[in-house]
Amino acid sequence: MTRLKPKRIVDLSKEIVDNPNDPFFMRVKIKHHGHRKARWLVRALGLPFRLFPKDFAGWADDTITRMGVHSTTHIDAPWHYGPELSDGRRPATVDEMPLDMCFGPGVVFDMRHKADGEEITVADMEQNLRDSGAALGDGVIALIHTGRDRLQGTKDYWKRGTGMSAPATEWLIDKGVLVMGIDQWGWDLPFHHQIRVSKEKNDENLFWQGHLVGRRKPYWQMEQLRGLDQLPSHGFDVAIFPLRLKGASAAPARVAAFLYE
């Protein structure tokens, strides 16, 4: 049996770290426990110190004391977009994501030219697809490259970026793409831009518009990716490994791209 061996594997995930520059509602807290603490646990369980292995320093341990499921590289489930779909069905939670959706051919859309506060349109997507020569279809995983991953770790990360419009999101879904992701903080325009545009146009349909497509047409969406600049436009595979959190709206995910000879 011949098996393709990746020439290179690219990690598309952020580190999970306590970053003081993150907004208060996205902060991660991790407590690191030193090796020697475990020695006292083993002693309390009944093993005398004199019977400890000579080189036993104890084991290191760590506790995540605070981390929202959307605080790092993650994938959103349809449940995130609302308590019910437009036809009344219950949306899937993240533990219900079919495993066969977690691996597939990737296509990168280069949207680095889009300015902060300027949303991505269907015309942008169509033009980039023509330019790259890539093809969409069932099982393809679409990755939106904005270049805003360069801001990860800074106070501006969640405030800067373009964003997928509802029509552009729906265009991907209609092409057979049900798993997609972006390298900026969120799928839509940053919150303050969404609020500004909603007020300027006096339109109740503009806030969170890309996400809310998922109430009519359920899809799965990754945010806070990184490293999309290391990928070609197509000809690689993407693997997504979300935590199996029962009943959750999203899950932190390790996302990787596999490039072949």
Domain match, 84 and 58 both: no
Regarding whether 158 and 62 lie in a shared domain, the answer is no
Q: Are strands 236-242 and 103-110 parallel, antiparallel or unpaired?
A: antiparallel
Q: Is residue 18 part of a domain?
A: no
If asked whether residues 86 and 169 sit together in one domain, one would say yes
42 and 115 housed in the same domain: no
Residue that finishes a domain, picked among 46, 66, 86: 66
10-residue mean pLDDT profile of the chain (261 residues): values are: 80 94 90 94 96 95 95 98 97 98 98 98 98 98 98 96 98 98 98 96 95 98 98 98 98 98 82
Instruction: Tell me what pLDDT residue 23 has.
Output: 87
> What one-character-per-residue DSSP string does 133-148 give?
T----TT-EEEEE-SG
Q: Are residues 38 and 90 in the same domain?
A: no
pLDDT for residue 140: 98
In a shared domain, residues 43 and 100: no
What DSSP designation does 124 have? H
Domain-embedded: residue 166: yes
On whether both 52 and 112 belong to a single domain, the answer is no
- Mark whether 60 and 80 lie in a shared domain: no
Could you say which of 66, 88, 123 is where a domain stops? 66
Tokens of 44: 């309390």
CB 38 within 8 A of CB 187: no
pTM above 0.85, yes or no: yes
Same domain for 122 and 209: yes
Supply φ then ψ for residue 168, to 5 degrees: -65, -40
In a domain, 10, yes or no: no
Domain range spanning residue 206?
74-259
Residue 22 within a domain = no
* Number of structural domains found in the chain: 2
What pLDDT shows up at residue 3?
63
CATH number at 138 reads: 3.50.30.50
Position 261 scores a pLDDT of 82
pLDDT of residue 158: 95
Q: Kindly give, in sequence order, each residue whose CB lies less than 8 Å from that of residue 181, ignoring residues fewer than 6 positions away.
A: 12, 75, 141, 142, 143, 144, 221, 222, 223, 225, 255
pLDDT the model gives residue 2: 55
The CA-atom distances, in angstroms, between 98 and each of 180, 243, 247 are 15, 13, 14
Residue 19 lies in a domain: no
Nearest 5°: the CA angle 177, 153, 199 is 65
129 and 43, same structural domain? no
H/E stretch holding 41 reads: helix 36-44
The answer as to whether 5 is a domain residue is: no
Residues 205 and 113 in one domain: yes
Is 41 found in the same domain as 146?
no
